[in-house]
Amino acid sequence: MRNFLKRNSILALILASAFMFSGCANGDGPPVESANGIEITDMAGQTIILEKPADRIVALTASDCEILYALDAGDTLVGRGEYCDYPEQILEVKPVKSGSDTNVEQIIALQPQLVIMGNMDQTQQQIDAIKSAGIQVLITDPQKIEDIYVAIEIIGKAVGKNDEARKLIEEMRSTFDQIKPIDGDGGRKTVYFEVSPLEYGLWVAGANTFMDEIAEMTGLENAFSDVSGWGQVSQEQVFERDPDYIVAVPMSYASELDYKQELVNREGWQNLKAVKNDAIYITDSDAITRPGPRIAKAAKDFYSFVYGKQPEQ
Amino acid sequence: MIKNNRDSFSKTEYLLFAVVAVAVFLLCISVGSVNIPLRETLSVILRAVFNMPAEESLSDSVILFVRLPRVICVALEGASLALCGAAMQGLLQNPLADGTTIGVSSGAALGAVLAIAIGANTSILSGISTVAMAMTFAFLSLILILTLAYKLDFSLSTYTIILMGVIFSMFSNSIVSFITTFAGEKVKTIVFWTMGSMAGSSYGNALLLFGALLLFGTVILAHARELNAFAIGENNARHIGVNVKRVKFMILIAVAGLIGVSVSVAGTIGFVGLVIPHITRMLVGPNHKKLLPAALFLGAIFLMLADLISRVALSPLELPIGVITSFVGSIVFVYIFYFKRKGR
């Protein structure tokens, strides 16, 4: 639920970040290796200079940790945000507090050369405190799938894995390229993304979320596209919108099987189209909500669920 | 007849409150974020009342499976919270007391957090295990608080009860914080739940709340005379022959049981138990024979309306009910308070 809030606050500041993106254009160019070292412009528009590829890194965001491992640079991590839990070997890395609980002292004590963090994670004071200890701060802030490539590129640059980063981006792009709408009978079908079970209030993923973007790509319409970001909606709205597909991410509330069982047994849900047609997909919340490398596979799996087959090359 | 009228809730007054409550109930059933015409609403309810098979239509689903159980739960919840608040304010002779003062609700919240943290994940979603754990803990807290209070202060004085409640609340809250720190992200969701949510209300919940209100509510209502005696002073009550300790025990147990069930079903919804008794007192006076039943109705009416606002204000989004109860409650309170003063 912390994430929901974070996401909302991110969206509230979408204007500010859109402004900052103008600084990201540099990210597309070839890596600049001047005599001074590696120059990187991060996603908050700040330029940092590293003498050499960083080999002591603290990363606070789960997606950034996943990117590091995907670039085969997981061994550079000396600290991770407490919610970074993928891949499994990351659990051996020392956890530090992140988000609103960020503890600067904890980070400095690990003596990293570089801290990678999300845009909304920390206050400016905390960032300044880290910088004044001689530690570089790299900020990532993907709002759309396209932005994930920028994050991968700058993280790749920071650890000197430019080729690996390029390869990973290419792989992800080619996966996403395969995901195209298939024209079917009738109009556009709708999908409902549930991110919190009924018991705690129904939270849905609306517009400006990765799930919404994946639905769009697949040719579906988000049933709650009028909600921005993640929001709590009334149960009766789900009944009224009667979506063609239900996609639920159990977070860590329950196993996938239990979640489905609970969902179809809710009072009145048996009358929903998606429940009658068994068009329910319970999936790994982290893969589809984190702006990391796994989102490509999550999108592919979503496509297979909708069309009953793998996307064609 | 006149004397009777002044003493207790007259039939006319009962009727008046009941009519308003039923009207608000019907309003809350017919209005929601999905627009269903009134005629449609009535026909759905009539069909359900006469046990005719429900149709597979949108209005049937919305009214029978979402609004009806929810509004019933909300009404019972509001009634319970207000009744408990009124009883506690009378018993402890303290205007800031409410059902949560004895600390049982914190205990219930602790139980719910534990249920999730231990990883009883398999059955949590059925809604049974969280509720069951919360109720068990509410009950255990009650025993613990009363035993300790009794051991520390045989006469069970007001201060002892308040202090025990406050300290027990702090104690359980510290454990909740401790668990949240270690159990990571998933328990943080429960923090939202403990702040109050009526979204998942089912007929099962309604039945549970109704049973609790029937049992414990009757106990509280039956002690209206003793509460009146307490209001003048504990010594006074003792002198006119009230068994002070026994009455205290009975009311505390009833309040704790009722609050425990309420919190287990819907989390802690703030402000209702504190403000509604005051508003009621301003309307019908301090006599508990009137105050208690009136608070019962007003609590139900208030929470139903608050829930209605939370459902429709930002439709399709839903607001946390606690936001509405605190916001509206404080304004209504000041308003009534101001005009009562002025009228004097």
Which range of B70-79, B233-242, B308-317 scores highest in mean pLDDT? It is: B70-79
Side by side, which strands form the sheet with A37-41?
A: A32-34, A37-41, A47-50
Q: Determine contact, residues B78/B329, Cβ cutoff 8 Å.
A: no
Q: Measured at the alpha carbon of residue A282, what is the angle toward residues B263 and A117, in degrees to the nearest 5?
A: 80
How confident is the model over B246-288, as pLDDT tens digits?
898 899 889 988 988 888 888 888 889 989 999 999 889 899 9
**Model pLDDT, residue B183:** 66
For residues A9 and A4, give the distance between their C-alpha atoms in angstroms, rounded to a whole number: 9
- Return the structure tokens found at B200: 């998942």
Q: State whether residue A276 sits within 8 Å of chain B by CB.
A: no
Helices (H), B93-157: 104-117, 121-124, 128-152
Domains A2-178 and A190-307 share a fold: yes
pTM over 0.90? The answer is no
Q: Determine contact, residues A95/A79, Cβ cutoff 8 Å.
A: yes
CB contact under 8 A, A252 and B186: yes
Domains of chain A by residue range: 2-178, 190-307
Question: What amino acid occupies position B321?
Answer: I
**Model pLDDT, residue B3:** 43
**Model pLDDT, residue A97:** 87
ipTM over 0.85: no
Pairing of strands A114-118, A57-59: parallel
The one-character DSSP state at B93 is T
Reduced to 3 states, what is the DSSP secondary structure of residue A192?
strand
Q: Measured at the alpha carbon of residue B29, what is the angle toward residues B28 and B31, in degrees to the nearest 5?
A: 65
Q: State whether residue B344 sits within 8 Å of chain A by CB.
A: no
Most B CBs within 10 Å: which of A85, A91, A199, A263, as the mutation test of the B interface? A199
Question: Residue B194: which pLDDT band, with cuts at 50, 70 and 90?
Answer: low
Q: Which residue of A has its CA nearest to B70?
A: A235
List the single residue in A2, A199, A271 with the smallest CB-CB distance to B188: A2
For residues A222 and A206, give the distance between their C-alpha atoms in angstroms, rounded to a whole number: 7
For residues B119 and A38, give the distance between their C-alpha atoms in angstroms, rounded to a whole number: 46
**Chain centroid to CA A166: how far?**
19
Reduced to 3 states, what is the DSSP secondary structure of residue B295?
helix
User: Across chain B, where does the E strand assignment appear?
Assistant: none
**Model pLDDT, residue B335:** 83
CB atoms within 10 A of CB A216: 14
CB contact under 8 A, B199 and A200: yes
Q: State whether residue B121 sits within 8 Å of chain A by CB.
A: yes
Q: What is the CATH number of the domain that holds B120?
A: 1.10.3470.10
Q: Determine contact, residues B247/B226, Cβ cutoff 8 Å.
A: yes
pLDDT in tens, chain A (313 residues): 444 444 444 444 444 444 444 334 444 444 455 556 889 999 988 899 998 999 999 999 999 999 999 999 999 999 999 888 889 999 999 999 888 788 899 999 999 999 999 887 678 888 899 999 999 999 999 999 999 999 999 999 999 999 999 999 999 999 999 998 887 766 789 999 998 878 777 889 999 999 999 999 999 999 999 999 988 898 999 999 999 999 998 765 566 777 888 899 888 899 999 999 999 999 888 889 899 999 999 999 999 999 988 887 6
Higher-pLDDT residue of B324 and A34 is B324
**Model pLDDT, residue A313:** 67
The domain total for chain B is 1
Q: How close is the nearest chain B Cα to the Cα of A294, in Å?
A: 20
How far apart, in Å, are the Cα atoms of B259 and each of A251, B103, B135, B159, B253?
30, 10, 9, 20, 10
**Model pLDDT, residue B306:** 93
**Model pLDDT, residue A189:** 92
Q: Which residue of B has its CA nearest to A242?
A: B58
Question: Residue B190: which pLDDT band, with cuts at 50, 70 and 90?
Answer: low
**Model pLDDT, residue B315:** 83
The one-character DSSP state at A269 is G
List the single residue in A237, A261, A268 with the smallest CB-CB distance to B65: A268
- Return the structure tokens found at A118: 């999300």
Residue A305's Cβ-side half-sphere holds a number of Cα atoms within 13 Å equal to 23
Residue whose C-alpha is closest to residue A228's, from A212, A239, A215, A245: A212
Out of A161-165, B97-101, B224-228, pick the least confident. Answer: B97-101
List the single residue in B66, B184, B185 with the smallest CB-CB distance to A239: B66
Which range of A86-95, B95-104, B332-341 scores highest in mean pLDDT? It is: A86-95
- Return the structure tokens found at A73: 């640079």
Residue whose C-alpha is closest to residue B307's, from A199, A198, A234: A234
Q: Measured at the alpha carbon of residue A222, what is the angle toward residues A218 and A223, in degrees to the nearest 5?
A: 140
CB atoms within 10 A of CB A25: 10
Reduced to 3 states, what is the DSSP secondary structure of residue A212?
helix
CB contact under 8 A, A267 and B65: yes
**Model pLDDT, residue B126:** 47
Per CB-CB distance under 8 Å, the chain B contacts of A242 are 58
Contacts of A237 (CB under 8 A, 6+ apart): A224, B33, B34, B315, B316
- Residue-wise DSSP of A25-42: GGGGSPPEEETTEEEEE-
Domain A2-178 in CATH 2.60.40.420? The answer is no
CB contact under 8 A, B186 and A255: no
Among the four given CATH numbers 3.40.50.1980, 3.40.50.150, 3.40.1640.10, 3.30.70.3000, the one describing domain A190-307: 3.40.50.1980
Rounded to an integer, the average pLDDT of B24-49 is 87
> B312: domain range?
2-343
Helix B68-92 to helix B203-222 angle (10° resolution) is 30
- Return the structure tokens found at A192: 């409902």
For residues B3 and A1, give the distance between their C-alpha atoms in angstroms, rounded to a whole number: 56
For residues B72 and B21, give the distance between their C-alpha atoms in angstroms, rounded to a whole number: 11
